[in-house]
Chain A
Amino acid sequence: MSATALFGQLLLGLINGSFYAMLSLGLAIIFGLLAIVNAAQGAFYMLGAFIAWMLLHYLGIGYWWAFVLAPLAVAIVGMIIERTLIARVYNLPHLYGLLLTLGLLQIIQGMFVHWYGTSGQPYNYPAGLTGGYNLGFMFMPAYRAWVVGASLTCCFGTWYAIEKTRLGSYLRAATENPMLVRAFGINVPRMVTLAFGTGVALAGLAGVLAAPIYQVNPLMGANILTTVFAVVVIGGFGSILGAIVTGLSLGVLEGLSKVFYPEASNLVIFLIMIVVLMVKPAGLFGQTR
C-alpha cells in the first residue's frame, strides 16, 4: 500500500473525526443543560450544508459569507424550536425529549428529501482554496487543510470558551446545579436556549465545512448521527475535552481501517463501542453513576 494512500486516508479520518467532535461537542453542551439527547443534531448538520448551498444557488452568496451566515441561521432555527417545542418536555421523562427530536429529524430531513431528492447537490470549493500543496510524502489539498484547521480551531475555541471564560463558568455551574445558579439571579432558561443554539450551530458549521467535500445531501445528517451517537457512548458525556479527543481519534481510527481493511471501516467504531461498553460502561470520560 502506498504512503500517499495512507496519509490521504489519515487526513480524511482527521476531517471526519473533527466533524464527529463538533457534533458530539454540541450534543454534550445540550445534554449538560437540557438533559436531552438531541437526535436532530444530524439534521442541523445537514441544514448547515443546505443553507450554504441555498445561499449560493438562489442568492449567489458565496462560501465565506455562508461560513458565518449558515451556522447563525441554524442557531436561530434551533432556538425557535427549543422555545416552542422542546421547552414543553422538560418536565417529562428524558426519553420524550429524544423522541421529540427524532420527530424533528424526520420532518427536517423529509422536507429536504422531498424537495431535492436523495442525490447530492455539488458545492464547489471556495475560490482561493482550490489548489493544494505538495508536502513530499503526500499531496495536501488546500481546502482539506483549511477544514482541519478551521474545525480544530472551532473545537478548541469552544473548549476554551467553556472551561476558561466567565460565560463558560455559568454554563458549567448551570450544568451542575441549575436551581442554585438561578438563585444567584442568573436567567438559566435563557441560557438553556442559547446553549441549544450554540450546540446546533456547531453541527451547522460542520455541515458548511463538509459541503464541498461530500456534496450536499439530505441524508448526510442521518448517516453521521448514528456514528456520533456511538462516539458519545464511547466517550461518555463527562468532559468537553473528552468529546473532542474521542471524536478526533475515532475518525482517525476509521480512516486507518479504510486503508488496512476497507470492508470493516464502517463497523470499526461500533466494534470499539461494544468493547468499551464491556470494559467501562460509563464511557472513557464518563462519570460512573
Chain B
Amino acid sequence: MDDALIPKGVKRCPLPEFLMKLGPVVVVLIWGIVAMFMCWFKGLNQTNMNDSYGFALWIWADLTVIALGGGAFFTGLLRYIIGKDKLKNIINFAVLVGFICYSSALLILAIDIGQPLRGWFIFWHANVHSMLTEVAFCLTCYFGVLTIEYLPLVLENRQVDQVSFFHHLSHNMHEVMPIFAATGAFLSFFHQGSLGGVAGVLFGRPFAFREGILIWPWTFFLFTWSAAAYGPCFTIMLAKITEKITKKKLIKDDVYALLAKISGWMMATYIMAKIIDTWYWAVVTAPSKGQGFMEFYSDNAFYGIWILILEIVVGGVIPAAILITRKGRSTPALLMIAVVLAVIGVSVNRWVMVLQVMAVPVLTFEGWPMYYPSWQEVATTLLPVAYGILLVAFSYRYLPVFPQEAELNPIDLESDETAESVTASETADAKLSPAKA
C-alpha cells in the first residue's frame, strides 16, 4: 500500500499490521493527551505537586530525557567535529532520539508551567542570571539544530527526494552540517550545564548547592559531562532494542564498540569527578551550612543512602568499568547490562537533583514532605514515550535511518512479496517504555 514511501533495498511489514501493532501505543498517546489537556484547562491542581514540591516528576523527566538525548550532540560532535567517521552509521538514529527527547522536553515544559499562554515570557522578559533562562534559550535553539539535523533525513524519503528542491536542500544541509553540529555542541554544552546549574545554584538548599567557577556551580560541568557520557549509552540501548524488535542487525558492532568505548571513558572520568564533588560537598559545603551528610539520607520514609550507592556505584562505576574494557563492551550481554545500568544511573542522578532536593527539609522545624505523582502526571510523562515510539517506528519505516541496514540485511527482490515480515511495528513492545521513561 505504502510501498512507494519505503526506502529502497529494505523490507517492511504490510501497512495494516504495522498500524495495528502501534495500536496500544496510540492508546497511551491519547491517554497522555487527555491528561495534558486536563492540566491545561483545569490547571496544575491536577497534579500532586504542592508548595514544597514545585518541581516534581515532570522536571525530573525533562532533565532525564535531555541527559539521555545528549547522545545526539555528543555523537554529532564526535562525527562532524572530531571526525569519527564511523559514527555516521549511528548518527541518524542518535539525531532521531535526540529530536524525540528534546521535543518531549519542550512539550513537558509547556504542560509544567502554570501559565502556558505566557510561557514565552521566558524569552521576552529574559532574566539572564537565571539558569532556567539559559536552559530555555539553549534548549529551544538546540531543538532547532536537531530539527535541522533531522530534516535531511526526512528529505531523503523516496518520494520527497524526488522533488528537486528538497533533494538539493538535503544535499546542501549535509554540506553545512559540521557548522550546525558545532553550534549544536556549543548550545548543548550550555543547556546541559545550565540544567545542572538549576539545582547547583540553589544556595538556599544545602543538599543541592555546589561551589564552582564564576557563576557556574560544579553541577554545571557535571551535567554536561554526564550527558555526553550517558547519552550515547541511551542511543546504543535504543538501537539495540530496535534491533531486537525488528529482528535485524542494523548497525555494525564496530560502530557500537567505538561509541561504547568513548562513552565508557567519559563515564569513568565523570564518575570520578562526581565522587570528588560528592565528597567535597559532604565534608565541606553542606557542613558549612550546618547540615551533616547523613541528615540528607535519614529520618524519612524513602531517601536512604542506598540512592547514592545506586547512582554512583551501580549506575556509574560498574557500567564505566564494563565499557572501558574491550571484553566488556564487545560482549553483547555485558554491553547491554552496562548501557541499562548507565541509563538508570543518570536517571537516578537527575531524580536526586530534582526530587530529593525538594524533599530535604532546610528549616529545622519542617519535616520531609513526601510526594507521589498523580495519574495525570504519569500519563503526561508517558505521552512523550508513546510519541517517541511512534516517531521511531515511522522514521524507521519510511526513512533511511540506518545506512548499514541494506548491507547487513540483503533482500531478494524477487521474493519481496512473500518474505517474512519482521517489522518495526514491534517497536510498540512495552520493553521500550521503561527504558526511556
**Bound pair: A and B?**
no
